[in-house]
Amino acid sequence: MAFDMDFSTFLQNLRKWLRRSLWLILTAAVLFGVGYYFYRNYTLSDGSRTGTLVKVARQGVIFKTYEGQLHLTGSMMMSKQSVWDFSIESGSVYQQLQQWEGRTVRCHYREKVHAFPWQGKTNFLVYKAEVMD
């Protein structure tokens, strides 16, 4: 009988400990997830780049994102250093850029620490564009 009481007390204490541990793990996971989201979405820099719009496309296997390529102004030959790859935040900006392909465009962007896959293939997210005449 003494063994049964000790064993039932042990089980009750074990359940309390497991319940507290699970809550602690769940709280830590939520805090880590929120922190990780804000870290990856942190804006490192913002600015604009001007050049000839070479390509605009909707790409992706799982996440369809809008991607573009700009041949930067001031460089004569098209090389790896003179081409700027970027991702486009919204469908409306994508539609604007489709109409301006081949023209000189200024793209306003935000550079993220590391963009999520559904945001684009690059860390440069264009949120506004304008044609330069």
Q: Are residues 22 and 74 in the same domain?
A: no
- E strands, the chain, are 43-59, 65-72, 83-88, 104-112, 124-131
Q: Are residues 126 and 78 in the same domain?
A: yes
In the chain, the percentage of residues whose pLDDT exceeds 70 is 92
- The strand pair at 83-88 and 124-131 is best described as parallel
Q: Which residues pair with 126 in a beta bridge?
A: 88, 109
Q: Is the pLDDT of residue 35 over 80?
A: yes
What is the pTM for the complete model shown? Answer: 0.77
Six token digits for residue 112:
């993220």
Same structural domain, 49 and 33: no
- Regarding whether 26 and 57 lie in a shared domain, the answer is no
pLDDT category of residue 81 using cuts at 50, 70 and 90: confident
Parent domain of 12: 1-40
One-letter amino acid identity for 130?
Answer: E
Mean residue pLDDT across the chain:
90
Indicate the number of domains in the chain.
2
Q: Are residues 5 and 48 in the same domain?
A: no
